[in-house]
């Protein structure tokens, strides 16, 4: 059974169609990353799935529930890590986790949760004395204290230093290995690349691309970039490599059919007895693909 099933989701803000017909299927046990520029409809979509916002049209099923119904069992089975929402500043880390844990039928132990998010030393510190990154970890703690089946993580590592991010990543990987379903939004492509089983790009209120991080937007097939140092005798170098070298003396060309293009290039080089220095074939990074997809949407 799918954990999340969305068909034709629409949400207006006044005249603006912020979400304009989103279809999305997320399988149980999957880590799914929703990517998109600011204002693309990411948070609106996620908040509708969490039950925080009403929708104007479309079918939404989350764990078999309609999130628009105010259902306690639904809320017992989801965990929400909100973006930019403050936590009661007067309480200590332990107190707030105790308070929220007590709402669930089968909560994790408070000490255990505090340890998982790495705040053992700050357990009795008031929230208002914590740093931004530490508060974000309390957010994470509140998202997992109920031991939910489905966890929403809205930009969970924004503002983290690199080591805190790595820790959060391993926490998320742990949750995945426990069979939890995770819906993640993020600005960081390396985060999506590292964590997600599948990613979708939302722009202009619609899903414009969907796939695994490795195949998104035809990443695995098709275009690749061939780079090498321009040899001294390169007058009859085959097309499409007959171009000016850049400042570093490198020729770098994007080719649609790398197999054929490479064959032509290396055959020429072998015939001439030339060793192509720094020869590399690179696939576009997830970020390249993401940028080209979202630029297309912006341009159109």
Partner 1 sequence: MGERPGLAGLSLRQLRYENKIFWRTPIAAFFTIFFPLMFLLLFSALFGDEVIEIPGRETFSVAQFYAPALAAFAAGSATYTNLGVQTAFARDQGILKRFRGAPLPTSAFMIGKISSGIWIAFLASALMLAVGAVFYDVSIEPERLPAALITFLLGAGCFAGLGMALGALAPTGEGSPAIANATYLPLAFASDVFIAIGEPPVWLRVIGDVFPLKHFVNAFQDAFNPLTDDLAFRPTDWAVMATWGLFGALIAWRFFAWQPRESGPSARRPAD
Pairing label, strands 57-62, 2-13: antiparallel
Contact call for residue 178 and partner 1 (CB under 8 A) = no
The dihedrals phi and psi of 213, each to the nearest 5 degrees, come to -55, -30
Closest among 171, 178, 146, 144 to 157, alpha carbons compared = 171
Looking at 74-82, 219-227, 236-244, 276-284, which segment touches partner 1 (CB under 8 A)?
A: 74-82
Nearest distance from C-beta of residue 144 to partner 1, angstroms: 12
Contact call for residue 179 and partner 1 (CB under 8 A) = no
Distances from the Cα of 51 to the Cα of 56, 141, 202, angstroms: 13, 20, 20
Burial class (CB in 10 A: 0-12, 13-18, 19+), 232: exposed
Nearest distance from C-beta of residue 148 to partner 1, angstroms: 10
Subset of residues 92 to 151 that bind partner 1, contact rule: CB under 8 A? 95, 99-100, 102-106, 142, 146
Which residue lies nearer to partner 1 by CB, 119 or 276?
119
Is 156 in a helix, a strand, or coil?
A: coil
Contact call for residue 294 and partner 1 (CB under 8 A) = no
Distances from the Cα of 209 to the Cα of 119, 168, 296, angstroms: 38, 26, 11
Looking at 24-32, 57-65, 85-93, 223-231, which segment touches partner 1 (CB under 8 A)?
A: 85-93
Nearest distance from C-beta of residue 97 to partner 1, angstroms: 12
User: For partner 1, what does the binding mask look like between residues 15 and 54, x meaning CB under 8 A?
Assistant: -x-x-----------------x-xxxxxxx-xx--xxxx-
> Are residues 214 and 191 in contact, defined by beta-carbon separation less than 8 angstroms?
no
Closest among 162, 222, 159, 216 to 193, alpha carbons compared = 216
Which residue lies nearer to partner 1 by CB, 19 or 216?
19
Is 59 in a helix, a strand, or coil?
A: strand
Nearest distance from C-beta of residue 81 to partner 1, angstroms: 10
By CB under 8 A, name the binding residues for partner 1. 13-14, 16, 18, 36, 38-44, 46-47, 50-53, 70, 72-73, 75-76, 78, 80, 82-88, 90-91, 95, 99-100, 102-106, 142, 146, 154, 185
């Amino acid at each position: 059974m799918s954990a999340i099933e969305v068909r034709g989701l629409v949400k207006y803000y006044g005249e603006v169609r912020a979400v304009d017909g989103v279809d999305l299927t997320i399988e149980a046990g999957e880590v799914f990353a929703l990517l998109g520029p600011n204002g693309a409809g990411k948070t609106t979509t996620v908040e509708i799935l969490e039950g925080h916002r009403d929708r104007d049209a479309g079918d939404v099923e989350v764990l078999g529930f309609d999130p628009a119904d105010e259902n306690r069992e639904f809320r017992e089975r989801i965990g929400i890590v909100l973006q930019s929402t403050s936590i009661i500043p007067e309480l200590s880390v332990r107190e707030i986790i105790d308070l929220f844990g007590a709402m669930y039928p089968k909560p994790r132990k408070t000490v255990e949760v505090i340890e998982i998010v790495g705040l053992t030393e700050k357990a009795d510190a008031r929230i208002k004395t914590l740093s931004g990154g530490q508060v974000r970890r309390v957010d994470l703690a509140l998202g997992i204290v109920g031991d939910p089946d489905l966890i929403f993580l809205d930009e969970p590592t924004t503002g983290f230093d690199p080591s805190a991010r790595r820790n959060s990543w391993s926490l998320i990987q742990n949750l995945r290995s426990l069979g939890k379903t995770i819906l993640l939004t993020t600005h960081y492509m390396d985060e999506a690349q590292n964590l997600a089983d599948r990613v979708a790009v939302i722009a202009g209120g619609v899903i414009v691309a969907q796939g695994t991080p490795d195949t998104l937007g035809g990443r695995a097939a098709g275009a690749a970039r061939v780079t090498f140092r321009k040899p001294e005798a390169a007058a009859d170098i085959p097309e499409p490599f007959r171009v000016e070298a850049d400042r570093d003396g490198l020729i770098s060309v994007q080719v649609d059919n790398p197999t054929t293009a490479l064959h032509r290039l290396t055959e020429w080089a072998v015939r001439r007895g030339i060793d192509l220095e720094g020869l590399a074939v690179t696939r576009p990074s997830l970020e390249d693909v993401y940028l080209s997809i979202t630029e297309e949407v912006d341009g159109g």
